[in-house]
Each structure stands twice: as C-alpha cells, then as structure tokens.
Amino acid sequence: MEFPGLKRGTVRLVPHQEQWKNSAQKAMILCKNLLGDVVVETMHIGSTAVPGICAKPVIDVAVGVRDLEAVKAQQKVLEKHQIIFRGEDVPGQLLWVKGDFERDTRTHHIHVLRWNSPAWVDYLNFRDFLTACPEAAASYERVKIALARQYPDSRAEYTAGKAKYIARILRAARKWRRETEGCSRRISTPLGEVIATASRRHLLELSLLPEPQGRVVVPAGENTVLDRVEVWLSRYFSGEKVSPAELPLAPDGTDFQRLVWQKLLEIPYGETVTYGDIARTIAPGRMSPRAVGNAVGANPVPIIIPCHRVLAANGLGGFSCGVDIKQKLLKIEGIL
C-alpha cells in the first residue's frame, strides 16, 4: 500500500520504511520507460535512501540526462502519468512531483539534472557516505529532528537550517570516497608520465607530479574508469577530437571552483576563451578575471577538463602544469 506522502510546505519525520526503496524503484522505472534513451541513469537519493534514519515520507529520485531540454519536451507525456513539472528548483535542475494534488500532498520529488554533473556526484556521495557511516547518519538525523520540531510548518526554513550541515557532510563524503576507493595508475603520454586517480565510478585527479603517496597503483583491467582515461588520453594525443563528456569526472573543490570547471568543460576542442569571458558568463560586471583564474589554476583534472583553453586578455596566461605544457596542448589542438 502506498504511503500517504506529505502536505506541501510542511515537515514531518517518520521512521525509515522498507517500502520506500520499492516506491523509489517503481518511480525510476516509470521515468525510464516514459523518457527512454534521454535517461542515462536513475538513482534513489536523499534520506529515504539511507537505511535506519528517519525522513520525510517523500521519495527523492534523481534522473540523470544529457539534455534537459529533451526532458522538457516530454512534459505532456509525464503529466499524463501524474508527474507534474514544478520548474527549476535549483540552478541546473528540473523538479517534477507526484502526489495527491487534490489534498496538496507530495509522495515523490523527481530531480532531473545532467548526468555526472557536480550535483549528480554530490547526491551519490551523500547517500553512499551516510549509508556506509552510521555515526554520520545518526548525527544528521539529530539535526533534522531538531529542525523539524522548530519548523513543522515551514519547509523552507527547515531546508535552510540543514544547508550548512549538509555542506559539511558533502566535504566529508568526498574525502571518504577518495580514501576508501581511490586508486591510481601511471599513464605514459607524449608529455611524460601522468598519474590518474579514480574511484570505482569517477576520475578524481590527473597529475603530472610524482606518484601520489598512499594510493594503490593498479594495472590495466583493475579499474574501468582508469582504463577509459588511458584510452581517452591516447586518442587525444593522437589528434582525435575527444570530448570530456565521454569520461565520468568528479573533481573535488569548492562550489565556486566546480562552477568554473563546469564552464571549462563547455569550451569546444580547438577554441579558447579568456578568464574575463568566463567571469562575464557567471556574474556579468560583478566578478573579476582573477577570481576565475584562481579557480582555473586549482583544476585537479587538467588536459581533460581543458583549462589550457583559457587565456589571459593579452597573452597565454599561466598553467598549473607549466606554460610549456600549455603551449604543447594548444599546438595539438591547432590553436598555436
């Protein structure tokens, strides 16, 4: 029997229920069936996906796609199945909801976002970290209970109250992912040996520096992400116009840094922009090129996240791996 959901705008926590998993699975299958190949992956997220902790009786599902506009085009199809569009609740994410609309209740929140975007990786890390670390999950539960008592009739204030604590959890989750799953491989390239570090699902770092300490160095075949990175780099240095979108990337940084790195991923092969160009796309007239430059310089996945395609207004600008390497990469792409 379907759980009753929650009246819109209110807060009520209930003990974890096994049926939440089944309800999430049904919603994910429905979305996949309705949207077809637009969907890359779906996953059950949020507190209802974490065993043992209380949660609002509303299932959160993430639907990872490559094209948000393609999902918008299916709005009428989704509405026929009582999946109603509620707009862009956070930048870069489309919110769809299911529930009893006559009673103004919600049973499901369906978050549609770009697959493998920073937000997608955060959803994954948050769920997996709290599932693997019961003490962290219990601490988060205590925060939620206190806020629910304080704001039972204000979902907005309840959500705002959790924001700083969630940010701390995400930082811990990224560290946990690296420490528990991180392994590295030495890969030969025309620029010399690079060190790629990955979890089981994502590339975390690419470095021209000496072998990182404390990392398990694995050969081919023992980490599929590193296998794909090695092939990608071989194709790139052979002159093929490969795309970063072919690889699952999860670089760790601040929200601002990751926003800038996302802008780097949008620069086409063989083209360049300036630090000022990026600043203007993020906050016209309110951001300095220097701030962008600092974020670009902190990019932990150079070459693949193409920071070499960003130039100064009056020259090449700097490069974390050395200006000589930047020049070589630009020559490969026919820019110099």
**Structure-token pair, residue 216:** 């398990």
Is residue 32 pLDDT above 50, yes or no? yes
Is residue 41 pLDDT above 90, yes or no? yes
Is residue 225 pLDDT above 90, yes or no? yes
The dihedrals phi and psi of 183, each to the nearest 5 degrees, come to -145, 160
pLDDT in tens, 273-307: 999 999 999 988 889 999 999 999 999 999 999 99
Is residue 1 pLDDT above 50, yes or no? no
Give me the pLDDT at residue 284, please.
Answer: 85
Give the mean pLDDT of 123-130. 97
Domains belonging to the chain, first-starting first, are 6-179 (3.30.460.10), 182-250 (3.30.160.70), 252-336 (1.10.10.10)
Please say whether the dihedral angle defined by the alpha carbons of residues 178, 135, 4 and 93, taken in this order, is positive or negative: negative
- Residue 209 banded pLDDT, cuts 50, 70, 90: low
pLDDT in tens, 145-203: 999 999 999 999 999 999 999 999 999 999 999 999 989 999 999 999 899 999 999 99
> Using an 8 Å Cβ cutoff, are 24 and 59 in contact?
yes
Please say whether the dihedral angle defined by the alpha carbons of residues 44, 50, 52 and 57, taken in this order, is positive or negative: negative
> 3-state secondary structure string, the chain?
CCCCCEECCCCCCECCCCHHHHHHHHHHHHHHHHHHHHEEEEEEECHHHCCCCCECCCEEEEEEECCHHHHHCCHHHHHCCCCEECCCCECCEEEEEECCCCCCEECEEEEEEECCCHHHHHHHHHHHHHHHCHHHHHHHHHHHHHHHHHCCCCHHHHHHHHHHHHHHHHHHHHHHHHHHHCEEEEEEECCEEEEEEECCCCEEEEECCCCCCCCEECCCCCCHHHHHHHHHHHHHHCCCCCCHHHCCECCCCCHHHHHHHHHHHCCCCCCCEEHHHHHHHHCCCCCCHHHHHHHHHCCCCCCCCCHHHEEECCECCCCCCCHHHHHHHHHHCCCC
Is residue 212 pLDDT above 80, yes or no? no
Give me the pLDDT at residue 218, please.
Answer: 74
Catalytic residues: 307
Say what percent of the chain tops pLDDT 90. 83
- pTM of the full predicted structure? 0.86
Give me the pLDDT at residue 215, please.
Answer: 59
Distance of alpha carbon 160 from alpha carbon 163, whole angstroms? 5
Is residue 213 pLDDT above 70, yes or no? no
List the one residue out of 3, 9, 6 whose CA is nearest residue 27. Answer: 3
List the one residue out of 254, 230, 253 whose CA is nearest residue 303. Answer: 230
Amino acid at 108: H
Average pLDDT, the chain: 93
**Structure-token pair, residue 128:** 């997996």
List the one residue out of 205, 26, 50 whose CA is nearest residue 124. Answer: 50
